[in-house]
Structures are given as structure tokens and as C-alpha cells.
A and B are shown apart, each in its own frame.
Chain A
Amino acid sequence: MTAGHTGKDPTTEHLSDHGLLALVAGGDREAFARLYDQYSEAAYSLAVRVVRDREFAADVVQEAFLAVWNQARTFDARRGQPSTWILTVTHHKAVDAVRREERRRSDPIDEEYEGRDPGAPVDEQAWLGMTRERVRQALRRLPDPHREVLELAYFAGYTQSELAERLALPLGTVKSRTFAAMTALRDEFARSGVTMEDSGTRR
């Protein structure tokens, strides 16, 4: 799920995301900007989907990236990819924001496409588009009841007992459907290369 780097600075061009994050840990703003450029669209898209307000979403993304900046020194590579960490922090902040403000939407994922910076290099777009398509396909393959609890939990920020109430299901059913969805996706993403075992960046 890591992006290829096509930035202009030749000295950081060969670095993996872990290498960039190590530089960020040392206070390197340029490496930080590279990570921002790679993952800000994914983070912002997620935030907009969860908090349903662009200004609010921008604040969430700011909080998330500044947390990455401040905590980069404590990041343990065994936790996985920096991109996972960035999006995990973003998701966490978005869900917290939604719960604080008690604003939630539970629309199914729609296919609206907002367009992106036309100046972005073509191979970055191809990678992003391909990942999006693979993830959406994997979701479509889930049984409806599994996908429903997963999407409501992840994108609308409901807790499991809130979901049980909302869907009029036993809590145990919510838990087992969520788990079934996550394990199916874990296997599917590993198979299709969306999540990667090692650090390899995609080309």
C-alpha cells in the first residue's frame, strides 16, 4: 500500500517510506513534505468521508500529520508501514471528532470522483487508482451483512454496541460479522497486493 516516490529531490528519491520517516524523526521537513504529498489525498478523502465536512476534514488531517511529525521518533518499524500509521492516526482523529460532535452519516459509499491535481505524475495516479479499485472490489465481494457492519463501524464511527442497537442484532452477531469481514479482507488484500509483507514500495 506504499506509494512510489517521484519527487524532485534526488537525495531522498531512493528512500523507502521507513527511510523518510526516519528522517522526519530527525526533524527533516523535506522528508515530511514528501510523506505529506504521498498520503495527504488518501488521508483527506478518508477524513471527508467520516466527518462529512471539508473544513473539519482539513483540521483532522492537520492534527494527524502533526501527530506524525511529533511522534515519528517513537514509531517502531515492527508496527508496519508508515502509510498504515498515517492513515490509522487520521482515522482515529476523524472518528474521535465525529463522536465528540455527534455528527454521523451512514450513506453507502458512493462513486463520486472529485478529480485530482492535474499536475500529479501519471504513475502516481495509476497506483492510487489501482489500489482504490482493488479495495472497492474486495468490499463488494463481502457478503452484504458483513460489509454493512464493517462500513458502518469504519466510516460512520459506530461502536459495536451502537451497531447492535441500530441494526437490531445481538452484540455477538455484530462482533462475529465484523471479524469475518476483517479476516476476509486481510486475506484478499494480501493476495491482491494491497497490503504488503515487507517494505517494498510499488513501482
Chain B
Amino acid sequence: MEHVDELIAAHALRALDPDDERAVEQHLAECEGCRHKLAEFEAVAAALAYAAPAAAPPLELRDRILGAAEPVVQPPVPPPVRERRRWWPRIAAVAAPGFAVLAIALAAWNISLRNDLGDTRSRFATGRVIHLANVGNVVTSGGSAILYADLKPAPSGKTYEAWVITGGKPVPAGTFDGGTGTRLTLTHDVAAGDSVAVTVEPEGGSAQPTSEPLAVGASNLG
């Protein structure tokens, strides 16, 4: 398609005439490279918003909008666990039925079931899913486990650390810096009845947790 890059840049600005807009939208549906280019230009266009003179939104607008946010229709699942679980050794198991945990994990990860079946399969094919509220989830397959998380980068001088709580005791299972799209293979197996937790630790990690967990999740499946 001729001059497609020009069209994509103008599309990000919403400045295309209707014929060009139709043509580029059709092309984007078929071209992943161009979708990536569009994402780049959309980020540029969105940044332009910050060149507008600052204007404070009216306070009542917030109430209007939050009030208008109706519950979204979805499979019946318990709401994500928000309150802190008691820390070890008095962990209360998350009593979520297997289907519900999977549904939460799917909803939380915006997995498009129409695309990327490969990804979906690799996350959920044979494994159990442990949901870590406000952190992400852990998928186990056999004994090995992978943590998927969407956390802000850890503060400077600190790191996130994953723990497997087995026999009532936390065992170090790997450290990570955070950032969207974390995928960490835990360095300790997760067996039935084990739990997984994440804490913030000093850089380099700790042998034992030194802080309250961000989340604790127990596997009740399999």
C-alpha cells in the first residue's frame, strides 16, 4: 500500500479523509507491522494532549462518571480478594472454586480468546492457576510454576521476591524487578496445598520475608 506510513501517522491524528481512513483501517486489520507502527504514532498523538493549556476538570464530573460505571456483565466470579491475608504461618487459604480462579485470571489478563491461542494454551493448558490479588497469577504445570505479573518497577534499592509457602514456611522462589509483562519461572516447585506470595525486599532478595506480602494465593485445584 502506497505511503502507508504517512497514512498511519495521519490516522493517529484522526486527520484522514474518509476514503483514506477506510483504506488504512482495512490495511491495519491485515498487517501486524503496521498495527505496531500505529501504536507508536498513537503514543505521539496522545503526548500532544499535554501541550494543551492545563484545565482542571470539575469535581462533579468525577462523581458523574464513577456513578455511571455500571457493573460489567461477566461470568459469576467472586470479587478479587482485596484485603491483606494473614501472613505466614497463619495463612488463610483462598477458598475459590477452580472455575472462578480461572475466570478471574482470564478477566484480569484481558486474554483475547480470539487471538493468540498459542499463548492461552501455554498459560492454562495443563496447569493449575493461583490468583494473586493485585499482582497477577501463577500457573503451575506438573511441579514447575510461572508467575505472571503487572507491577510497577520495584523502588530503587529494592526488588520483588516470590515465595512458595510449603509446610507453613516461605521458601525463596525468585526475584524480579517488576514492570508490565513480568514472566518469572519460580525457582521452587509448587505442590498441591502450597501457596505463593510476593513481597518487596532489599535488592538481591532475602532468605526470609522481611515485609508484609503484596498478595498471597493458595492453590486449591488439582
CA distance A22 to B43 in the complex (A): 20
B31 within 8 A of A: no
CA distance A132 to B62 in the complex (A): 23
Interface string of B165-184 (1 = CB under 8 A from A): 00000000000001111000
Pick the contact of B151 from A16, A73, A76, A90 — CB < 8 Å?
A16
Give the bracket for the number of chain A residues in contact with chain B.
35 or more
Given contacts A46-B52, A80-B43, contact A91 B68 (CB under 8 A): no
CA distance A38 to B74 in the complex (A): 26
Are B179 and A194 in contact (CB-based, < 8 A)? Answer: no
Interface string of A94-126 (1 = CB under 8 A from B): 010000000000000111111111000000000
* Minimum Cβ distance to chain B for residue A85 (Å): 8
User: Which residues of chain A are within 8 angstroms of B66 by Cβ–Cβ distance?
Assistant: 29, 32-33, 36
Pick the contact of A163 from B15, B44, B83 — CB < 8 Å?
B15
Query: Which residue of B is nearest A90, CB measured?
Result: B49
A56 within 8 A of B: no
* Minimum Cβ distance to chain B for residue A18 (Å): 4
Are A198 and B68 in contact (CB-based, < 8 A)? Answer: no
User: Which residues of chain B are within 8 angstroms of A21 by Cβ–Cβ distance?
Assistant: 110
CA distance A109 to B153 in the complex (A): 35
* Minimum Cβ distance to chain B for residue A79 (Å): 5
* Minimum Cβ distance to chain A for residue B181 (Å): 7
User: Which residues of chain B are within 8 angstroms of A43 by Cβ–Cβ distance?
Assistant: 49, 57
Pick the contact of B46 from A26, A66, A88 — CB < 8 Å?
A88
User: Which residues of chain B are within 8 angstroms of A14 by Cβ–Cβ distance?
Assistant: 134-135, 151-152, 178, 200, 214
Chain A positions 57-88 with a Cβ under 8 Å from a chain B Cβ: 57-58, 61-62, 65-66, 69-70, 72-81, 83-84, 87-88
CA distance A112 to B112 in the complex (A): 43
Interface string of B78-103 (1 = CB under 8 A from A): 01101110000000000000000000
Are A109 and B180 in contact (CB-based, < 8 A)? Answer: no
User: Which residues of chain A are within 8 angstroms of B54 by Cβ–Cβ distance?
Assistant: 41, 45, 113-116, 128, 132
Are A15 and B57 in contact (CB-based, < 8 A)? Answer: no
What is the interface of chain A, defined by CB distance below 8 A to chain B? 1, 5, 11-12, 14-19, 21-23, 25-29, 32-33, 36-37, 40-46, 48-50, 54, 57-58, 61-62, 65-66, 69-70, 72-81, 83-84, 87-88, 90-92, 95, 109-117, 128, 131-132, 135-136, 139, 150, 153-155, 157-161, 163, 175-176, 178-179, 182-183, 185-186, 189, 194-195, 198-201, 203
Give the 4 A-B residue pairs with the shortest CB-CB distance, closest first.
A199-B180, A19-B150, A49-B52, A153-B15
